[in-house]
Structure 1
Amino acid sequence: MDWDKLRIFHAVADAGSLTHAGDTLHLSQSAVSRQIRALEESLNVTLFHRHARGLILTEQGELLFDATSAMAKRLDAAAARIRDSEDEVFGELRVTSTIGLGTMWLAPRLTRLYQKYPALKIDLMLEERVLDLPMREADVAIRMKEPSQADLIRKRLMTIRMQLYASPDYLEKHGTPLNMADFNQHRLICQHAGTPQVSAGASLVAELMSHDIPSTLTVNNYFGVMQAVLNHLGIGVLPNYLAEEFPHLVRVLPDVSSNDVPVFLAYPEELRHSKRVAAFRDFITEEIITYRKKYQNS
């Protein structure tokens, strides 16, 4: 099968338009159209439904687009390895993590990584959805559970726990609870039970909610919980790594804590020799060592 035709088909399917695909490929619309017709004739199928608003893949077109997408990702991975210099660390590195860890722990530390490798181009993708590393949706992931795929290299970074925190201003105004019975005078801020979160955190929230708590604020990620706590709205369920990032926060009810939550670094086996991945892995490892010395055993 002619790769040039497949490349053009992939661009058309991705853009949903002959014109837009032609702009991307620097080809005329008629040239793109001829290549698509030739591919359809060679396969003896119709790949697109044509209508006034653009192009829609047929069932056969969807199957071919899945295949060309996988091929494109493999080529991207190969190109990334080829671009890695023997002596320099440069180019794009796509890193994924959860919104909470990415915004409150990882992003503030990237200054030191850029100081060491100023030619890096980091694409930080923060979302609760677990991106598919073997399919090259990201190069490196920091996850709150051990990855299950067999073709990933994984490294356990640290262990965190979900605990209760409040601002000094809130506690000065409303008092500090000494036990769970005192919570009937306070507002609990936590992730909504239906949002993606670590199971240990969800279990802790479920336990807290079983008590008589008159007022709650639920958010769909820990960054939102953090903002509410910083603005003195109540007592929040937050990860304990915030002791470093926001040392003025006060831990409430020290005996209340979730089970351990492991944090893993993972990347595809095929990127084992990537200079960029190695630089990021070593950077994160150094940051974790510093974190552990300061806070993990305190």
Structure 2
Amino acid sequence: MDWDKLRIFHAVADAGSLTHAGETLHLSQSAVSRQIRSLEESLNTTLFHRHARGLILTEQGELLFDATRAMNKRLEAAAARIRDSEEEVFGELKVTTTTGFGTMWLAPRLPKLYEKYPELKIDLMLEERVLDLPMREADVAIRMKEPSQADLIRKRLMNIRMRLYATQDYLDTHAPLTTVEEISAHRLICQSPNSAQVSAGASLVQHLLGYDVLSTLTVNNYFGALQAVLANLGVGVLPDYLTEDFPQLVRVMPEIESGEVPVFLAYPEELRQSKRVSAFRDFVQEEIFNHRRKIRDNETPS
């Protein structure tokens, strides 16, 4: 099969237009059209339905587009490895993690990484959906469970727990909170039961709701829950990695916490030699080491 025709087909399928694909490929619309017709003839099938508003893939076209998309991902991976043979750390690095961890822990620390590698271009994708690393939807993932995808290098970074926090201002102006039964007199701030979250956190919330909590505020990520707690709206179920960066949080009922939640960093086996990936991995590990040390120092009696 002609690689050049496949490249043109992929651009047309991605753009949904001969004109837009031609602009991307620096070819005339007629040249693109000829190549598509030639490919259809060689395969003895129709790849696109032609409409006035653009092109729509046929069933056969969808099958071919799936194949060219996978090929394109592999080519991007190969190109990344070639670029990473240089001594400098530069170029794009696609990093995915959860909204809470990305906004509240990772993003505030990125200035240190950029200071060391100013030519690095990080595409930070914050979502609960697990992206496909082998298919290069992202280069590196930080997730709250061990990745199950094959052909990944995994590194366990740390363990976290969900705990209860409030501000001192809130505690000073509301009913006492020394036993779990007293949670019923407070507003509980937590993730929505139907939102993607770690099972340990969901289990803790269900346990607390069993104490006849009269008022709740549910949010679909921990960043929103944190903001509500800082605004003195109630008692929040939050990850313990926040305590270093938000000293105004006061832990309440220390005996109440979730089970351990492992945090993993993962990347495709084929990026083992990537200098960008190595630089990011080493940066995250160093920051977690510093984070743990600060927590220990704060917990040690003076």
TM range (shorter): over 0.9
The match for 1:263 is 263
Give the aligned length.
298
Distance 2:273 2:259 in 1: 35
The match for 2:75 is 75
Distance 1:246 1:195 in 2: 24
Distance 1:208 1:127 in 2: 26
Quickly say closer, same or farther: Cα 1:193–1:48, change in 2 above 3 A. Answer: same
Distance 1:86 1:21 in 2: 32
Distance 1:252 1:27 in 2: 65
Letter in 1 for 2:104: M
Deviation at 1:52, TM superposition (A): 1.6
The match for 1:106 is 106
Deviation at 1:128, TM superposition (A): 0.3
The match for 1:184 is 184
The match for 1:223 is 223
Kept after mapping to 2: 8 A contact 1:167/1:250:
yes
The match for 2:25 is 25
Letter in 1 for 2:124: L
The match for 1:46 is 46
The match for 2:58 is 58
The match for 1:141 is 141
| Root-mean-square deviation (Å) | 1.1
Letter in 2 for 1:220: N
Deviation at 1:87, TM superposition (A): 1.8
More displaced stretch, 168-177 vs 211-220: 168-177
The match for 1:128 is 128
Q: Which runs of at least 4 in structure 1 moved beyond 3 Å after TM superposition?
A: none
Kept after mapping to 1: 8 A contact 2:47/2:57:
yes
Offset from partner CA, 1:21-54 (integer Å, 9 cap, x none)? 1111111111111111111000000001111221
Gaps of 5+ in 1: none
The SS at the match of 2:265 is: strand
The SS at the match of 1:241 is: helix
The match for 2:2 is 2
Offset from partner CA, 1:67-108 (integer Å, 9 cap, x none)? 000000001011111111432111110100000000000001
Distance 1:146 1:184 in 2: 35
The match for 1:293 is 293
Offset from partner CA, 1:217-266 (integer Å, 9 cap, x none)? 11111111111111111111100000011011111111110000000010
Kept after mapping to 1: 8 A contact 2:183/2:208:
no
Letter in 2 for 1:94: K
Deviation at 1:185, TM superposition (A): 1.6
The alignment-based identity, stated in percent, is 76
Quickly say closer, same or farther: Cα 1:202–1:296, change in 2 above 3 A. Answer: farther
Given the two structures, how large is their TM-score scaled by the length of structure 1? 0.98
Distance 1:65 1:136 in 2: 16
Distance 1:6 1:200 in 2: 47
Distance 2:100 2:4 in 1: 43
Distance 2:176 2:116 in 1: 44
Deviation at 1:120, TM superposition (A): 0.4
Deviation at 1:170, TM superposition (A): 1.6
Counting only pairs closer than 5 Å after superposition, residues 165-204 of structure 1 correspond to structure 2 as: 165-204=165-204
Counting only pairs closer than 5 Å after superposition, residues 263-282 of structure 1 correspond to structure 2 as: 263-282=263-282
The SS at the match of 1:256 is: coil
The match for 2:89 is 89
Letter in 1 for 2:62: E
The SS at the match of 2:255 is: strand
Kept after mapping to 2: 8 A contact 1:176/1:252:
no
Letter in 2 for 1:15: A
More displaced stretch, 16-25 vs 68-77: 16-25
Deviation at 1:150, TM superposition (A): 2.8
Gaps of 5+ in 2: none
The SS at the match of 1:154 is: strand
